[in-house]
Structure 1
Amino acid sequence: MLRLLVFLLALACVVPAGAQTTADPAPVQAPAGIVAAQQKVLLDLTAKVDRLEKQIGQNKEDDDKLVDIRLQLEELAPQALQSALAFRPRIAEINKRLEQLGPPPAEGQPAEPDIVTNERQALAAEKAEINAVIASAQTLSVRISNLINTVATTRSDLFRNLLTRRYALTDAFSSKVLSDAHAGVTSFYNSISSWLGFALKYKAQPMLVATMMALIAAFVLMFGGRRVFGRLIDPNGGESPSYLSRLSRTFWSTLLPTVALGVFFAATYFFYDYYGVLRGDIGTFLAAAMTVIGLVFCVNRLTNAALSPARPAWRLIPVEPEAARWLVRLTTAMALVIGVSSFLAIVNNQMGSPLSLTVARSFLAAVIVGVLLILMGLLKPFRTKEGEWRRWPVWLRYSAYGLGAFTIGAALLGYIGLATFVSLQVVVTGTILVTAYIGLLSARAIGAEGGFGNSFVGRWLAENSSLEDNTLDQLGLVASIALNVLIVLVFLPLILMMWGFQPGDIQSWGYRLATGLTIGSVTISFTGILSGIVVFIVGYFLTRWFQGWLDGSVMARGKVDTGVRNSIRLAVGYAGVALAGLVGVSAAGIDLSNLALVAGALSLGIGFGLQNVVSNFVSGLILLAERPFKVGDWIVAGDVSGTVKKISVRATEIETFQRQSVILPNSNLINNAVGNWTHRNKLGRMEIKVGVAYDSDAHKAHAVLSEIARGHPMVLKNPEPFVQFTNFGPAALEFEMRVFLADITNSGTVQNDIRFAILDAFDREGIAIPSTVRAVMEKKPALEPWPTDDDRIEVEAAEQEEAKAEAARQQAKSRRKGRKPDPN
């Protein structure tokens, strides 16, 4: 027995420890090689960053290379952060397991099993190793950010040096410049000649095919574009076109031909390059020449369209024809000077021409542009009614003087880069801004009330469709918004590139805006927001389609009651919109848990001022669920009586019999008594009160009324109509005709028919309907608003006659009862 007791005690001491060991979850093993894999990724990234850092030092004078380096660094930055984030699930597992294991036992406490101690130590070591890799990734990310800032600083310094660098004009205009220019022209001519000889000898067929393809593209653009957009480019506005027509012609006649020419040049370059006709330097020259031609063409088209020297009615600016011609010539000349200078700059760079030649070319171009600006300011484009010529407004004239003088002065002082930059911005940026401004004015005119309907597209839609004016105005507003967005997306990048920004900069900004813009702790992703809006719109229209299909195809065929159909349709609509909203919010990347703050703010607003809104909302849900009345019912709510037209979650629309729409809050319909004439069916009773003179036969009157009630076709035979002798009135024997109708909404028609039938029958049977003092007063002409003394005498006489008639009725009543009349 003693041995058994000792064995049981030993077992009791051992079982808890074993049970505890068994209850502990198995240790979580780290994914094989995750640390080593991320270390390899970081080593590769570090090598790339080292290479890019060396390239920054080697390309400090090349802005295009610096932009390319920055784009590569921006691609590496998220990869470094991704390496750090790759450990997040593993770190969460380790922390959870360490929390389960608990801290090591303190001194004096029983020792824990070795397996627990070993696991804790292994997890701590792994965590330290992961933290070291994360620290390396964060350090690399910071280094990449610093290099990006270094690139931005280097580019800013490069641009600043370009504008502030001063050149010695004496070296630029020495006798050596002419020889350098002659050598450059000779080299350029030899390069073109050698390419043409090679192309005609070895690439004649591909060159011919490429030329034919480009000409076909030009033919299609010329005639096809004229056919499609001809009414926009050259609208038929008569002698007095509207302002919108003039704006539209100016904008589209500039944009569309310029785009067409650009597409033609792009097709030419593509086919020449595709068939191997172009050589490296020739491709550069060809692209530069196409750019210059496109610039000059765009400026010439814009000034011709805005000033219209030959068509004064289409002129946007009211200048005289001769001044308009000079403005077109001067602006085209400025564009031509800037274009030729830019083309020669590319040729000089490609040929390796000396700096003196570049300085001389830029100096001449800047001075010519400055002189042309001053000449434009000196023009007198306006003429008064007296025939006197008038100059430009002061601010515009002195702006032209200032820009021209600044360009010439900067060039004379040796700041060639600054002078060239200013002259280039005057021509190119000015052209872009003017075109964009005309487009914005056109968009504003289209979005104005009635503007879209007066346009060519609006008139075509009005003639070929059944769209109303309100719909055309809404379409005009949509077209205005779309045109504004298009102008911003097209012209803003062009302006940025003209001010020294590279396409890589715009690409980087677009990527940041698309993927997410971080402001403080909030990240805004425009792509996510746009996706959410698109998802919500799709969900909304799917909901509307499903509502229409369910109501028109399913419930209509099933002969479902109109009120039930309305309730189901509303419930499906609200549920679909709510679901589309939730899905759209999720698609936008917004965490639904963050909406708790919004819900808290909403509840606070409910507590302060939204009680009525919430009360009406809940009341609307109750009305849709209980359905005390439905759409089409005839109800009476207080002083309002009419037909229910619509039940929403906030209010109910009732149309009175005067065709007045009354919007009643749903809480009023829930908290107050509401009469429903057509709740379960349209069966209802109608009462018509009739007064019969005291000297008439009451039995005969009762029989006539009963016969009339039974004879009307809309009066039900069951329940049977009933005529009740209700009272001995002060002026008549009072009868009430009570009839039942299958459709109580026809009560007005039935009452009208029965009343006419009563008049005809009483006249035929000699039954009188007594008149009253009120009837006498109502027979007076409406032209006398106030009663005269004669009126009072007549009323008193009528009252005396009424008293005599009452006495006669009392005598007749006494005779019918078999009693003698009272002699008094």
Structure 2
Amino acid sequence: MPVFLRSLLALILLALSALAFPALAQGPSPNGSPIIREQRAVMDGLRQRTDQLEKQIAANSEDDSHLVDIRLQLEETERQLLQSSVAFRPRLTEINNRLDQLGPAPAEGQPPEQDLVTRERQALLAEKAEINAALGVAEDQSIRINALITRITEMRRDLFSRLLTRRYDIGTALAGEVAEAARNEATDLYRTVASWVRFVVQFKLRSVLFATFFALLAAAILLIGGRRLFGRLFEADGNVESPSYLSRLSVAFWSTLVPTAALAVFLTTTYLLYDYFAVLRGDIGTMMTSLFIVIGLVFFVHRLGSSVLSPRLPNWRLIAVDTQAARLLLWLVSATAIFTGIDVFLSTVYSVLDSPLSLTVGESLIATVLTGILVVLIGLVRPFTGEDGRPRRWHPVLSATLFLLGGVTIVAALLGYIGFARFLSTQIVVTGAVLATMYIGFLSARAVAEEGAFAGTTLGRRFESRFSLDASTLDQLALVVSIAINILILVVGVPLILFLWGFQPGDIQAWVYKAVTGIRIGSFTLSFTGIFWGILVFVLGYFLTRWFQGWLDGSVMARGKVDAGVRNSIRTVVGYAGLAIAVLMGVSAAGIDLSNFALIAGGLSLGIGFGLQNVVSNFVSGLILLAERPFKAGDWIVAGPVSGTVKKISVRATEIETFQRQTVILPNSDLINSAVGNWTHRNKLGRIEIPVGVGYGSDAKRVHEILLEIASNHPLVLKNPEPFVLFSAFGDSSLDFEVRVFLADVSNGVIVQNDVRFAILEAFARENIEIPFPQRDVHLKREPPAEKWPIDDDKVEAEYFERAKALEEKATPQPAPRRKRRKPDPS
């Protein structure tokens, strides 16, 4: 065999081997698929972890915080299980594609296939069955995890219900042993704290001083920064006699929020640094956490009451109460917070020291009863002064609410429902303070959004001086600031209220995760993260479109001396095209599958066909106007009774400004389907006519010369085409002429007509040419009197002739006085 043929045969065999290699490579390895082994190991680990968490549920059935932590671990396990299931998808897709390439096994009676293909199909089917089995195990495990999460939710609900409905024996709380137990616990508390203090002084004094210094520094930075940032909004100015409502709201809100935030930063930083430097023991750390929370609570409530009631500065009060009542209310509110805080702190101490239950019940009984009494006393205060000068109480609804809350707290505590009484008293103080602060914040945001309000604030004046903003822009910025304040209040306030009502941070974390990853509504998944990214992409596309419009109009078309109307049309088309692209990109970024809206789109198309046909007609007509440009922005058009300048052409309607400065909105379909006159379509050249009449005794040729001379001498009249005077008609009372002139800019027609008429009047006065007025001869046809009047009816006949004579005199026109000719001005 020749060398050439041998080489060619070798190349063919090599090519066939290369073609067969992918099919062989796609077959499963003898040891099985690595992805299956890897994910099975992951699933086995997740199953063992689920077993451990299930045991922890039973062991911590009475601990709400541990149950929340277990729930978070279960949800994390479910997420990992989902990721493991998704890992099978690429390999499963490859198997299905390869099985489609191989086709089904030959039926009986058909030629057999090669053994290699049969073995490959069987191996792929076995691997596919193995993957499906693993996916089934993952689905069963997911169902089990969801059942455990539901079980935890039910256990927590039952735990909270038992906490509120459990009844204690008040007799044991009032027994003499309680006092002795209180003394013993006080001694134990003193010894515990004293031993910790000695430990700190001997070994951790530098760490404590360092941590305290940096915590104070962080709080001072926040406090000083808040004062510099908010300025007069931070503290009430006693020199201001009548501050505005916005100023009072702002001072009340920020003077409460900023100092409270500074104190919270100090307390939190102190605790974290103490814990970092190993200063705290377990028992001391728990008690210090409770103490810091109580300090922050009491300070917050007292600061809020001082800001709202303002006992020292009556002009800055948000509630128009008397000064004495303001001081009393502030004392009652602060005392309520103090009693509630003491109850919270002592309950923590008793829990740490493992005190007797009777001591905890007795202390909570006293604290809740005192809190309820203070709430009732607040309802009994008469803070207002009536028109007759006598003290007046709260609104009946508010008084009834306070009496109800305080009374229920007292009764529940005395009946032994200490848990419910403690919960209610705590919510009255803490939740009430948070809601009051949020309400003041919402009022401040609404006041900022009012027209001209933001410009009067310190921040508004800074923006105005820094960026040279006008009043309209400041009002728009105020709306953005108002929305930002509302969002900030909701983001901070709502989770805080949820925490106060028994929800754990893990609950909020789980809700946030579900909101971020997506909430399924039927077959549709709503993802707030996707919505956020979609809105962000749309806003970015919108601003890019605006920037491109400005660049195209100001840099490209302006330098190219493009007509203003053409520039407006191009800018409009680019704007709508960019907006459509931004919408599509935003929808795509949001992850919304438009195929889910196919049915809705069908319904909309049906609605468009019937109810929205006028809208669609105007839309299509607008596109035609922008494409054909029979007129453009700045043109003088006449459309039926409307005559004016085109200001804007949109896809729905065209905006026209008449010469009376009236804006007329014409639907685009009317402009397409009817005749439209355009005075400035190709150019601004135009002709105007000025009619004038002279008396029948005038010299017509001299009149023609005068009119032609006046028209030719006007500076705005074109010489070519030259002016023309037409002897148009023999009128009823005059010889009618018409002056026709051409102007370079037809929009100056009114000015030229006015000037020419004045010139004609002066010229006719010099030439003694009369401009006549209409004359009419009126002939009355009178019927002759009746031949025979009724007998003895002379009176009727006389009245008839008197009426006829009066009508004749009234119908006869009186000669008009002849106007005196005005002498020419010698100057």
User: What TM-score does the superposition give when structure 1 sets the normalisation length?
Assistant: 0.85
Measured in 2, the distance between the counterparts of 1:370 and 1:683 equals 89
The 8 Å contact of residues 67 and 156 in structure 2, kept in 1 or not, is answered as yes
Change (3 A) 1:262 1:737: same
1:389-441 alpha-carbon deviations (Å, 9 max, x no partner): 44445544444444334333333343322222222222222222222233333
State which of 674, 682, 685 in structure 2 corresponds to 1:683. Answer: 685
Measured in 2, the distance between the counterparts of 1:65 and 1:747 equals 88
Measured in 2, the distance between the counterparts of 1:427 and 1:360 equals 21
The 8 Å contact of residues 693 and 769 in structure 1, kept in 2 or not, is answered as yes
Change (3 A) 1:214 1:765: same
What amino acid does structure 2 have at the position aligned with 1:687? E
What amino acid does structure 1 have at the position aligned with 2:214? M
**546-555 or 441-450: which moved more?**
441-450
- The answer to whether structure 1 residue 216 and structure 2 residue 235 are counterparts is no
**229-238 or 354-363: which moved more?**
229-238
- The answer to whether structure 1 residue 539 and structure 2 residue 541 are counterparts is yes
The 8 Å contact of residues 515 and 528 in structure 2, kept in 1 or not, is answered as yes
Deviation of 1:169 (Å)? 4.1
What amino acid does structure 1 have at the position aligned with 2:486? N
- The answer to whether structure 1 residue 81 and structure 2 residue 100 are counterparts is no
Measured in 2, the distance between the counterparts of 1:323 and 1:754 equals 82
1:535-579 alpha-carbon deviations (Å, 9 max, x no partner): 212221221122112111221111111121111100110011111
Measured in 1, the distance between the counterparts of 2:348 and 2:521 equals 42
Report the 3-state secondary structure (helix = DSSP H, G, I; strand = E; otherwise coil) of the residue aligned with 2:492: helix
Change (3 A) 1:563 1:394: closer
Question: What aligned pairs does 1:15-26 form with structure 2 within 5 A after superposition?
Answer: none
State which of 662, 668, 685 in structure 1 corresponds to 2:670. Answer: 668
Change (3 A) 1:184 1:733: same
Residue in 2 that maps onto 1:157: 158
Residue in 2 that maps onto 1:764: 766
Measured in 1, the distance between the counterparts of 2:777 and 2:446 equals 66
Measured in 1, the distance between the counterparts of 2:54 and 2:334 equals 45
State which of 698, 703, 715 in structure 1 corresponds to 2:717. Answer: 715
Report the 3-state secondary structure (helix = DSSP H, G, I; strand = E; otherwise coil) of the residue aligned with 2:813: helix
State which of 508, 518, 521 in structure 2 corresponds to 1:516. Answer: 518
What amino acid does structure 1 have at the position aligned with 2:722? E
Deviation of 1:499 (Å)? 1.4
Deviation of 1:596 (Å)? 3.4
Measured in 2, the distance between the counterparts of 1:86 and 1:436 equals 47
Question: What aligned pairs does 1:785-824 form with structure 2 within 5 A after superposition?
Answer: 792-794=811-813
Aligned length: 769
Deviation of 1:387 (Å)? 4.7
Residue in 2 that maps onto 1:250: 252
Deviation of 1:755 (Å)? 2.6
Residue in 2 that maps onto 1:732: 734
Measured in 1, the distance between the counterparts of 2:343 and 2:100 equals 73
Residue in 1 that maps onto 2:580: 578
Measured in 2, the distance between the counterparts of 1:653 and 1:408 equals 70
What amino acid does structure 1 have at the position aligned with 2:701? H
What amino acid does structure 2 have at the position aligned with 1:764? R
State which of 594, 597, 618 in structure 1 corresponds to 2:596. Answer: 594
Residue in 1 that maps onto 2:63: 62
Question: What aligned pairs does 1:391-470 form with structure 2 within 5 A after superposition?
Answer: 391-448=393-450, 452=454
Measured in 1, the distance between the counterparts of 2:651 and 2:810 equals 58
What amino acid does structure 1 have at the position aligned with 2:538? F
Residue in 2 that maps onto 1:486: 488
**287-296 or 763-772: which moved more?**
763-772
**421-430 or 176-185: which moved more?**
176-185
What amino acid does structure 2 have at the position aligned with 1:434? A
State which of 286, 302, 305 in structure 1 corresponds to 2:304. Answer: 302
Deviation of 1:226 (Å)? 3.2
Change (3 A) 1:76 1:638: same
Structure 2 unmatched runs, 5+? 1-15, 779-805, 819-827
Deviation of 1:464 (Å)? 8.3
Deviation of 1:491 (Å)? 1.6
Change (3 A) 1:391 1:555: closer
Deviation of 1:583 (Å)? 1.0
Measured in 1, the distance between the counterparts of 2:204 and 2:210 equals 10
User: What TM-score does the superposition give when structure 2 sets the normalisation length?
Assistant: 0.85
Deviation of 1:106 (Å)? 3.8
Measured in 2, the distance between the counterparts of 1:295 and 1:227 equals 25
The 8 Å contact of residues 223 and 258 in structure 2, kept in 1 or not, is answered as no
The 8 Å contact of residues 30 and 90 in structure 1, kept in 2 or not, is answered as no
Change (3 A) 1:451 1:601: farther
The 8 Å contact of residues 27 and 124 in structure 2, kept in 1 or not, is answered as no
Deviation of 1:292 (Å)? 0.9
1:735-760 alpha-carbon deviations (Å, 9 max, x no partner): 33332222222222222222333333
Residue in 2 that maps onto 1:194: 195
Change (3 A) 1:609 1:773: farther
Change (3 A) 1:390 1:739: closer
Deviation of 1:83 (Å)? 2.5
**584-593 or 96-105: which moved more?**
96-105
1:508-543 alpha-carbon deviations (Å, 9 max, x no partner): 111111221122222211122122122212221221
Measured in 1, the distance between the counterparts of 2:640 and 2:174 equals 99
Report the 3-state secondary structure (helix = DSSP H, G, I; strand = E; otherwise coil) of the residue aligned with 1:631: coil
Residue in 2 that maps onto 1:783: none
- The answer to whether structure 1 residue 659 and structure 2 residue 661 are counterparts is yes
Sequence identity (%): 60
Change (3 A) 1:775 1:285: farther
Measured in 1, the distance between the counterparts of 2:509 and 2:348 equals 24
The 8 Å contact of residues 299 and 331 in structure 1, kept in 2 or not, is answered as yes
Measured in 2, the distance between the counterparts of 1:235 and 1:647 equals 53
Measured in 1, the distance between the counterparts of 2:408 and 2:541 equals 59
1:432-455 alpha-carbon deviations (Å, 9 max, x no partner): 222223333333444456655676
Report the 3-state secondary structure (helix = DSSP H, G, I; strand = E; otherwise coil) of the residue aligned with 2:733: coil
Residue in 2 that maps onto 1:286: 288
Change (3 A) 1:94 1:323: same
1:238-296 alpha-carbon deviations (Å, 9 max, x no partner): 44444444433333332222112112222333444445544444333332222111111
Residue in 2 that maps onto 1:314: 316
The 8 Å contact of residues 244 and 455 in structure 1, kept in 2 or not, is answered as no
Change (3 A) 1:487 1:115: same
Change (3 A) 1:642 1:366: closer
Measured in 2, the distance between the counterparts of 1:492 and 1:423 equals 20
What amino acid does structure 2 have at the position aligned with 1:167? Y
Residue in 1 that maps onto 2:643: 641
Deviation of 1:504 (Å)? 1.0
Deviation of 1:713 (Å)? 2.4
Change (3 A) 1:97 1:322: same
What amino acid does structure 2 have at the position aligned with 1:579? I
**RMSD over equivalenced CA pairs, Å:** 3.3
**562-571 or 529-538: which moved more?**
529-538
Measured in 1, the distance between the counterparts of 2:638 and 2:188 equals 99
1:12-60 alpha-carbon deviations (Å, 9 max, x no partner): xxxxxx9xx99x9889546941222221121111121112112112211
**619-628 or 244-253: which moved more?**
244-253
Deviation of 1:505 (Å)? 0.8
What amino acid does structure 2 have at the position aligned with 1:369? T
Change (3 A) 1:450 1:223: closer
Deviation of 1:112 (Å)? 4.2
